[in-house]
């Protein structure tokens, strides 16, 4: 690993024995405070995550989903805390639509994140559950100054979500808070205190659950008390692929992490390492591998109980070799889905001196999610139902009790069977392709965590178009055009390229315990904090 910083972010990597990296400084400091109170990496992750629902409400909230990968000192564990569609949802309910709605009650699936907090705390935490809410409740009740980045996103949401049931709670006086303005939300503080006191029971079976169900009933929505009461997290076995001397791990479907693994597996069958770092030739192979992986993702991946193909089939080396053969190193192509033989977000990571590492992500999906806010609670409900399709017979077709294909994914890397790196890149479909780019920057180019995050990025957007950050050199842009791509260069300050948080374990000195290097994305307000 090199400590050089070849890209102009102005940030240095943070080195410490205990470290937390998040997209918002107050949340990072909440994680550090948990460490100071005797907590471990799991406690720090949860304190940061709970605080993020308050201080970065444009990207996540109490009414969202969550996933985690946890190295407990001996093994890697996966947690799927995503919710299912209301039982009242049927294919017929949405059959008249070419695609799922983007906002409103008909995008609201059961929010699973709160149950994820409880499950992680019960299994791995050292601090009392209520202790994890200290900073979040304080910021909600006493207020905090809104940052310019968040204010900009909030202002856009105020336009996009105007008129959605209850959303006026986040736009008092008909407007979003301005940069530097103090934001307080007492209802949210009370809700978090209720969740803390009842260990989440109020959210799924008590007062808060009743408030959500009653509001849904008022609007003829599908979410019911029975859906909330039936919610349960799932501990899952992570899926993985080898990449050089590393192994990259993701949560299995219903998440899109398998697309990152497929792209990395494809690159192992392409002349990737013979290309120069930062060159058009290298970026071309990255982009083409991602396009092939996305073709299979959108055709085959859904709730694992409803997939016709298994993760093992999609990650089979022989199948990946077959798919890689479609890619021309000299020309951009078009890729249909293959058929193997017999599938608005915040991310954070933490690590502690005893060797535990956490990769954690939670989201309301698109900005504030559905735009629906339950009165008197501060609960902004996600729009994760948007992840379903209405195509008859598709494995991801909407149905009651089914999990939608999910965009939010934490990632983890091991090396020689030991933890090496916890990382993630928030931002819709940018997440899987961001994971690919972070692994390549670290594993092939040897960059430190901050430099991995700083490097210019490419993105295949939701419409399939290729966009590049404005920091991509003009010669590379021209080189991609010569290879048959049609890249669009985004304006400075674009938020479409996601936000990365990365922690890499340093080589341990015998008898000294563990230490880490962390990076936090300069594209957001984030901060890595060590203690």
Profile the chain (531 residues) by mean pLDDT over runs of 10 residues: 88 96 96 98 98 95 97 97 97 95 97 98 98 98 96 95 96 96 98 98 98 98 98 98 97 96 97 96 97 94 92 95 96 81 76 97 92 98 96 95 94 97 92 97 97 96 92 97 97 91 87 90 93 92
Note the pLDDT of residue 340: 65
Using a 10 angstrom Cβ sphere, with 0-12 exposed, 13-18 middle and 19 or more buried, the burial of residue 422 is buried
450 contacts 11 by C-beta, under 8 angstroms:
yes
Active site residue 345: yes
* pLDDT of amino acid 462: 82
Contact present, 4 and 330 (Cβ < 8 Å): no
> How much is the pLDDT for 257?
96
Tell me what pLDDT residue 510 has.
Answer: 67
pTM of the model: 0.95
The per-residue DSSP string of 354-392 comes to TS-EEEEEEE-SSTTTTS-EETTTTEEBP-GGGGSB--T
CB 504 within 8 A of CB 449: yes
| Range list of β-strands (E), 51-107 | 65-71, 76-81
Cβ neighbours around 322 below 10 Å, total: 14
Using a 10 angstrom Cβ sphere, with 0-12 exposed, 13-18 middle and 19 or more buried, the burial of residue 184 is: middle
Three-state SS at 72: coil
Check residue 432 and give its pLDDT.
Answer: 95
pLDDT at 341: 52
The fold for domain 1-252+345-384+402-457+498-531 equals 3.60.20
Give the pLDDT confidence score for residue 337 in this predicted structure.
Answer: 77
Whose CA is closest to 180, among 216, 223, 143?
143
Q: Sheet holding 488-489: strands in order across?
A: 458-460, 466-468, 488-489
Active-site pick, 22, 134, 191, 345? 345
């Amino acid at each position: 690993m090199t400590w050089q910083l070849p890209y102009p972010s102005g940030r240095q990597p943070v080195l410490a024995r205990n470290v937390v990296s998040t997209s918002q400084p107050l949340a990072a400091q909440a994680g550090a405070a948990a460490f100071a109170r005797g907590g471990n990496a799991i406690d720090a992750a949860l304190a940061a995550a709970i605080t993020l629902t308050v201080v970065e409400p444009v990207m996540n909230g109490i009414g969202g989903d969550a996933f985690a990968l946890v190295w407990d000192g001996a093994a890697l564990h996966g947690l799927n805390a995503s919710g299912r569609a209301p039982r009242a949802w049927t294919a017929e309910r949405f059959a008249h639509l070419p695609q799922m709605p983007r906002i409103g009650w008909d995008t609201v699936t059961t929010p699973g994140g709160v149950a994820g907090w409880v499950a992680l705390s019960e299994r791995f935490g050292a601090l009392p559950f209520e202790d994890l809410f200290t900073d979040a409740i304080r910021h909600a009740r006493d207020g905090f100054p809104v940052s310019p980045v968040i204010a900009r996103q909030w202002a856009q949401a105020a336009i996009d979500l105007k008129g959605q049931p209850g959303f006026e709670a986040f736009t008092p006086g008909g407007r979003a808070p301005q940069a530097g303005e103090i934001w307080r939300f007492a209802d949210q503080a009370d809700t978090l205190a209720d969740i803390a006191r009842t260990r989440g029971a109020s959210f799924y079976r008590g007062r808060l659950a009743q408030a959500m169900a009653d509001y849904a009933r008022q609007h003829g929505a599908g979410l019911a008390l029975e859906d909330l009461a039936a919610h349960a997290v799932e501990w899952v076995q992570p899926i993985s692929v080898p990449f050089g001397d590393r192994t990259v791990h993701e949560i299995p479907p219903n998440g899109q992490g398998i697309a990152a693994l497929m792209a990395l597996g494809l690159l192992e069958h392409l002349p990737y390492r013979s290309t120069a770092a930062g060159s058009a030739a290298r970026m071309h192979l990255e982009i083409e591998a991602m396009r092939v992986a996305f073709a299979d993702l959108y055709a085959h991946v859904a709730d694992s109980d409803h997939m016709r193909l298994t993760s093992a089939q999609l990650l089979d080396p022989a199948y990946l070799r077959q798919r890689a053969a479609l890619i021309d190193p000299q020309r951009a192509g078009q890729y249909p889905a293959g058929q193997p033989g017999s599938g608005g977000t915040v991310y954070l990571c933490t690590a502690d001196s005893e060797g535990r590492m956490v990769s954690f992500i939670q989201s309301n999906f698109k900005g504030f999610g559905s735009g629906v806010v339950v009165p008197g609670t501060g609960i902004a409900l996600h729009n994760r139902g948007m992840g379903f399709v209405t195509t008859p017979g598709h494995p991801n077709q909407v149905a009651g009790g089914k999990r939608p294909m999910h965009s939010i994914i934490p990632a983890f890397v091991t090396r020689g069977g030991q933890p090496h790196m916890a990382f993630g890149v928030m931002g819709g479909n940018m997440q899987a392709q961001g994971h690919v780019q972070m692994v390549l920057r670290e594993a092939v180019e040897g960059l430190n965590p901050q430099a991995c995050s700083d490097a210019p990025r490419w993105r295949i957007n939701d419409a399939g178009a290729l966009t590049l950050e404005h920091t991509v050199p003009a010669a590379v842009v021209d080189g991609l055009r010569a290879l048959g791509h049609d890249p669009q260069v985004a304006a400075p300050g674009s938020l479409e390229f996601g936000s990365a948080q990365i922690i890499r374990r340093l080589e341990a000195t015998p008898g000294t315990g563990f230490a880490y290097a962390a990076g936090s994305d300069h594209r957001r307000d984030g901060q890595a904090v060590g203690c």
